[in-house]
Structure 1
């Protein structure tokens, strides 16, 4: 059952990601030699407090380099809420653990090796410095902030994800560029009055197919009205 749910959610997120990618503007980042992801196994020189990013299928995952080949990062994980066995918790987070962490809003800020953090993906180094208006804090201060936060935390896709963690550590204020992009896309949908007409037509179609009832009439009236007032 869990595997089926994971598969369906992954497909749903993938479709949403494709749609968002076609509509969202790119982040204001310069293109230079540091922009190209380097293979996880390639020799790199990281410094304590560096911000590492690895592209995933649906998003970019971020962490803070702690030195000695270790990275602190925030990742959804249900296991810390179920057991205090540190050895089990420190094992690599599986897709099932991650999915249940997202659904239960549980996460952990943990320290893993660079290889486990990258999970075979290329690594971007301090690229976010060009998109965030604040200057980075000294590397040692960045790493100390990350160290103080290691442990179980609450999770939210919108308000407390891996980008909020790294931006708080490196720039002194939590922010998620990917969340900001999503909100801008959502606002553009609300402002587009064609969507009001579309939702009204869909509501009328549902009443024609399912009949007039509170379950069909109320959404038909309230959803277009809400979009109209918000546009």
Structure 2
């Protein structure tokens, strides 16, 4: 096992194999799964051509395909912060660590479909850990889109109603 120097006070806790890692990017969170020895598995845009971790993750918003990569946690985190966040452990039982790692290693290097709302990086790692794909981030975005759509529809309806009322003699 490598030295523990990459997990300092700014990044509390030492992840264990199978842990979910939440990386805080400006405006969103990127998710990875810890494999051990400082390595994680995550999805990255297929057309990734820049070494900047935050920028390459931001490109995934517009990508329809992603590459499953095994990378050093410190390289993926870059200057951002992260935390261990196994937030669904109360909802789902994690698979055995050996099974999580076996499933993860099988996917390394494969191209997978990517969809910000239905198949994103959080869906990917929760499927590995729990056998269930879930993303609170996507659920919040879908809820916000629904609210904005409903509000826009209501405002349009009110505008039409007001327009008709003002045309009546």
Q: Which runs of 5+ in 1 are unaligned?
A: 1-37, 80-88, 206-231
**8 Å contact 2:44–2:57 — kept in the other structure?**
no
Three-state SS of the structure 1 residue aligned to 2:123 is helix
Q: How does 1:1-231 map to 2 (within 5 A)?
A: 39-40=10-11, 44-79=13-48, 92=51, 95=55, 99=59, 102-129=61-88, 133-150=91-108, 151-192=110-151, 195-200=152-157, 201=159
Instruction: State which drifts further: 58-67 or 120-129.
Output: 120-129
Structure 2: which 5+ residue stretches go unaligned? Answer: 1-8, 164-169
- Deviation, 1:105, is 1.1
> What is the TM-score with the length of structure 2 in the denominator?
0.74
Contact 1:71/1:111 (8 A) holds in 2: yes
Q: Deviations over 1:85-139 (max 9, x none)?
A: xxxx7x736637953x543412111011110121222221134235x61121122
Q: Distance in 2 between matches of 1:97 and 1:118?
A: 10
Q: Give the TM-score, by structure 1 length.
A: 0.56
Question: Between Structure 1 and Structure 2, which shows a larger proportion of strand residues?
Answer: 2
Alignment partners' CA distance in 2, 1:77 and 1:143:
22
CA separation in 2, counterparts of 1:124 and 1:107? 23
